[in-house]
Amino acid sequence: MADSAAETLNGNLPAAPSLMPEDQLLPSLRMVVGIWAAACLGLWMLVGYHTRDALFAILAFGLTGSLIAGFVLSRVQAYIGSVALLVGFMGTVTIAAIQGHNQAILSFLVIPVILAPMLLAPAAILPAAGVATVLALAVSRSVGGNPWLAAMLLLAAASTWAALRPLYALLHLSWRRSMQGVHLASQLRARQGELNKTIKALDLSYQLLEKTNRELSVARREAEVLRDLRNRFATNLSHELRTPLNIVIGFANLIYRNPQLYGVEEWNDVLLRDLAQIQRNARYLSQLVDDVIDLARVDALAMPIQRQVTNLGDVIGEAAASVATMARKKSLAIEVSLAPDLPLVNVDPLRLQQVLFNLLSNAIRFTDRGGVSVWARQEGNEVVVSVSDSGRGIPEEELSTIFDEFYQVGRPKSTPEAGKGLGLAIARRLVQLHGGRIWATSELGKGSCFSFTLPLSGVTVSRLRAGEGTPLPKARRAARVLVLTHDDSAALYLGRRIEGYEFVPIQSLERLRESLAAQPAAAVLVDGGLRLDTAVVRQALEGCDADPPVITCPLPSALWVTGAAGFRRVLTKPVTPESLFQALEDVEPEKKELSVFLVDDDRGFVQLVARMLQAAGQSNGRQYATDAAYSGEEALRKLRRTAPDCVILDLVLPGMNGFSVLAAMREQAALANIPVIAVTAATPGEDQLAVGGATFSFSKRGSFQPGELSALLTTALKMAQGEIVTQGSD
């Protein structure tokens, strides 16, 4: 492993030096100096014994001088000190041989030849041997000796070269290994430093992430609480405001149309104008409540978007037709211009029509001359729809705030004609739910133009313009769910409340098989009101290529109330005179005199229905006698004393609810056959789910995958503990 690492580092290491590295030279030099000093000491001792011998003195002085010079110069640089030692040695030996006329002294030249590769470099043996050979030949000629010594020096140089070559190869390899180790150690220290910094940064990031997660968890809980509060606000507002407003509107219409109820043939003009003003303001308040509820439901995420592939031209045409009367009253023209290659869009057509209605009605309200234009075209990966008018325009400084709630331009907020200031806010929210953007441009005196985008299915929203809102992720294809029910409204109910699924109503098991054979489905949803066993449904699906899970649960529908619950008809508040009389005609078509018993905890509603029946009796000749009770217990007590022809019964009552009242009536022979008309403020069937309980079952063929069973149990246990946050009804 080390070898492979070293090999990878070869390209990063310096080339091998021609001279011995100084850190390796110093130990050798010190060793040579030490031996040299001992030799010099021995020579000086010989000089002491042989005081008359000049040869020993020359050797002692020369070698000692070269030793001192080499030692001093090695303090500056080791190479210079080594050269000084070798040159001094050769010079001393040469002088001693010449002075003593003794050729044998030249044999000491072998010593610097051997020391040269040890102190300098392997190649240094060649110049050292060459110099020693030249000196030996020169001295041999001067003293008359034989040149054999030169041959001996060359032989010594060759043998030394051969002996030291493996040693220097090993030394060179050791040096490279040492350099590799140093390089690896340096890299390791650098990496260790980087790693330490990374660990510290990760530790800090982890602490920040934990802190952010805690803050996000707190913010999410607060957002869920706020969303739940908004949802409950919308629900409570629907009940607390719509109910009295419906009664106000009902009485205003009743008084306006039926002065005979109050002993007057007809109202005078002043009173008619006052009544008309009451009607207008009541309708205005009702529309305001509807808008506020819509806005609250959008903010609380309680308004799902039921997407479907839609022809945008049809939606624009329907929206233009809905405001045509309003435009004609002001002599304004509505022009629709559609690009010929306009693609289909994946939107909720009802919500999109609401956006267009708000923009068109707003444009008509602020335009006195000219007209209103609607045009649509494709720009890149989105469709742009614009509504322009020739009205008074909007100041530039107000363009950034016109989409705020309750903001109005150019008119006081105290009159109904000024609008409610919520239409643009709702339009913006609905466009954002579709993943689009909305903005406005305007020029004072020339008009305004409101534009919004709709992303095409399966593409990302482009950002060519700066606009309000953050687009949502692109929509996925809605999963198909087959709803086995006898009431198509159950599928519509699910489609309004659950986004991302296409709910297809199926009326029979045969149609279910045919539909699955034509196109697979994500699941089969069986209405619990059919009382079909899951095994029966599974048996009907035998042989089908598709084998989706089967879910059985109760679904709100009028059939639950009129069928399983036993009510003859269902009226949904606000109750209109037409729907009331039609229900009475259906249950008792023959009788000219009809006694009607009203059961509702809202006294205003009871009084309104009684007045409607009184007014109808004067107009159609049918006489209605009314009596009332304001709780379930009171109703049963009165019913036991006198049996009416028909009972109009509110399903949600304090204490004993409407279903319990009906069950008690069916147990008594005198009351069992009295027709009962149900009254509800919710979607038909929701009240029965709320008070009667429900059973939910999930069946799939084969075994559960890892985690599926635990996920289902976790959801069920959370619901059992009341931890599931439910969204209110529409």
Residues 6+ apart with CB under 8 A from 24: 171, 175
CA distance 175 to 165: 15
pLDDT at 11: 47
Collapsing DSSP to helix, strand or coil, 475 comes out as coil
Question: Is domain 566-687 classified as CATH 3.40.50.2300?
Answer: yes
Per DSSP bridges, beta strands 593-599 and 623-629 are parallel
**pLDDT per position as a tens digit, 219-273:** 888 877 777 776 677 666 666 777 787 788 888 888 888 787 777 778 888 888 8
- Cα 501 from chain centroid (whole Å): 20
Q: How far apart are CA 684 and CA 730, in angstroms?
A: 12
Does pLDDT of 416 surpass 70? Answer: no
**Ranked by mean pLDDT, which of 109-118, 293-302, 608-617, 678-687 comes out on top?**
608-617
Mean of pLDDT over the chain: 75
Closest CA to 127 of 87, 76, 97: 87
Confidence of residue 465 (pLDDT cuts 50, 70, 90): very low
Whether 145 shows a pLDDT value over 90: the answer reads no
The pLDDT, as a whole number, for residue 457 is: 61
Burial of 304 from C-beta contacts in 10 A (0-12 / 13-18 / 19+): buried
Rounded-to-integer distance, Cα 230 and Cα 156, Å: 105
Neighbours of 225 (CB within 10 A): 11
Q: What is the pLDDT of residue 472?
A: 38
pLDDT score of 205 more than 80: yes
pLDDT cut 70: percent of the chain above it: 69
**Amino acid 598: pLDDT:** 94
What CA–CA distance (Å, rounded) separates 289 from 658?
Answer: 28
How remote is the C-alpha of 411 from its chain's centroid? 41
- Which of 181-195, 236-250, 712-726 is least confident? 712-726
What is the C-alpha separation between 471 and 219, in angstroms, rounded?
Answer: 21
Model confidence at 683: pLDDT above 60: no
539-557 per-position pLDDT tens digit? 877 777 777 888 888 776 6
- DSSP 8-state code for residue 722: T
Residue 30 to residue 24: CA distance in whole angstroms: 11
Cα distance between residue 657 and residue 688, in whole Å: 10
- Is the pLDDT assigned to residue 12 strictly greater than 60? no
Q: What are the b/e assignments for 611-636, b being 16+ CB within 10 Å?
A: bbbbbbbeeeebebebbbbbbbbbbb
Domain 479-555 class?
A: alpha beta
The helix/strand/coil state of 378 is strand
Closest CA to 249 of 617, 572, 608, 607: 608
For residue 478, what is the DSSP state? Answer: P
Higher per-residue confidence, 683 vs 306: 306
Structure tokens at 680: 């509800």
Amino acid at 286: S
Q: Give 502's strand partners.
A: 480
Distant-in-sequence, close-in-space partners of 265: CB < 8 Å, separation ≥ 6: 259
pLDDT at 411 over 70: no
Q: Give the three-class secondary structure for 594.
A: strand
Looking at the chain, the domain(s) classified CATH 3.40.50.2300 span: 479-555, 566-687
Residue 508's identity, in one-letter code, is S
- The pLDDT assigned to 33 comes to 58
First-last CA distance in the chain:
71
pLDDT higher than threshold 70 for residue 614: yes
pLDDT at 421: 65
Does 415 or 231 have the greater pLDDT score?
A: 231
What does the block give as tokens for 96? Answer: 């001693």
Report, as an integer, the average pLDDT of 116-138: 75
- The pLDDT of residue 228 is 72
Could you give the CA distance from residue 347 to residue 454 in angstroms, rounded to a whole number? Answer: 8
Identity of the residue numbered 26: L
What percentage of the chain exceeds 90 in pLDDT?
8
pLDDT at 461: 39
In sequence order, what are the residues at sequence separation of 6 or more whose Cβ sits closer than 8 angstroms to the Cβ of residue 453? 379, 382, 383, 384, 385, 431, 436, 437, 438, 461, 465, 467
Of 458 and 129, the one with more pLDDT: 129
Confidence tier at 618 by pLDDT (50, 70, 90)? low
Measure the CA–CA gap between 482 and 548, rounded to whole angstroms: 10
Express each pLDDT in 629-652 by its tens digit: 999 999 999 999 888 999 999 888
Q: How confident is the model at residue 413 (pLDDT cuts 50, 70, 90)?
A: very low
Distance of CA 199 to the CA centre of its chain: 28
pLDDT band at 341 (very low <50, low <70, confident <90, very high): confident
Residue-level pLDDT at 295: 65
So what's the architecture of 310-455 in CATH? 2-Layer Sandwich (3.30)
Residue range(s) in the chain whose domain bears CATH number 3.30.565.10: 310-455
Q: How far apart are CA 377 and CA 453, in angstroms?
A: 10
pLDDT per residue as tens digits for the range 33-76: 556 665 655 555 554 444 455 666 676 677 777 777 766 776 66
Q: If you average pLDDT over residues 694-705, what whole number do you get?
A: 72
Which residue in this structure is represented by tokens 């309003």? 326
DSSP structure class, residue 701? S
Mean predicted confidence (pLDDT) in 585-614: 87
pLDDT at residue 8 greater than cutoff 50: no
pLDDT at 634: 92
Q: What is the pLDDT of residues 264-320, one digit of tens each?
A: 778 888 888 888 888 777 776 776 677 666 666 666 555 666 677 888 999 998 888
Q: Is the pLDDT of residue 100 over 50?
A: yes
Mean pLDDT confidence for 689-710: 66
Say which residue, 381 or 237, is predicted with more confidence: 381
Q: Which of 117-121, 273-277, 379-383 has the highest mean pLDDT?
A: 379-383
Instruction: Judge contact between 295 and 332, C-beta under 8 A.
Output: no
Question: Which residues on neighbouring strands pair with residue 505, listed in sequence order?
Answer: 483
Among 652, 651, 647, residue whose Cα is nearest residue 676: 647
Where residue 16 falls among pLDDT bands split at 50, 70, 90?
very low
At residue 453 the predicted structure's pLDDT band, cuts being 50, 70 and 90, is very high
Taking 70 as the threshold, does the pLDDT of residue 532 lie above it? yes
pTM: 0.49
The DSSP-derived string for 492-512 is: HHHHHH-TTEEEEEE-SHHHH
> What is the number of other CB atoms lying within 10 angstroms of the CB of residue 686?
21
- Which of 14-18, 123-127, 290-294, 561-565 is least confident? 14-18
Asked, as a colleague might, if the bond just before 574 is cis with ω within 30 of 0, I would say yes
